[in-house]
Amino acid sequence: METPLKAVELTSTVDEKGQLHLDIPVTHVGPGTVRVILLRKDDADIDEGEWLRAAAHNSAFDFLKDPAEDLYTLDDGEPFNDQG
């Protein structure tokens, strides 16, 4: 039977490299493996600048840097002028 887990709540910060930094030392837990559960604010609380920074540094969008992805130019399509 698996040993029950004990929860310890700590605050921390995630840096630009995605690495987790605890705000205080963990002195009441001995060396060994721990399970980490991240709780963060609802996405609605993230401002537009934070979203843009995350998208700009996310490797999931690296394919957009490929010149072959530049399918359209300013001469393509027709202008859209919303009168609403």
Residue 52 dihedral angles phi and psi, to the nearest 5° = -65, -40
Q: Give residue 56's pLDDT.
A: 84
Residue 72: inside a domain: no
The tally of domains found in the chain comes to 1
Cα(36)–Cα(12) distance, integer angstroms: 11
Q: Give residue 43's pLDDT.
A: 61
Report the pLDDT averaged over residues 56-65. 86
Q: Give residue 44's pLDDT.
A: 65
**Domain residues for 49?**
12-67
Report the pLDDT averaged over residues 56-63. 86
Percent helix, strand and coil across the chain, each to the nearest 5 = 25, 5, 65
Cα(82)–Cα(84) distance, integer angstroms: 5
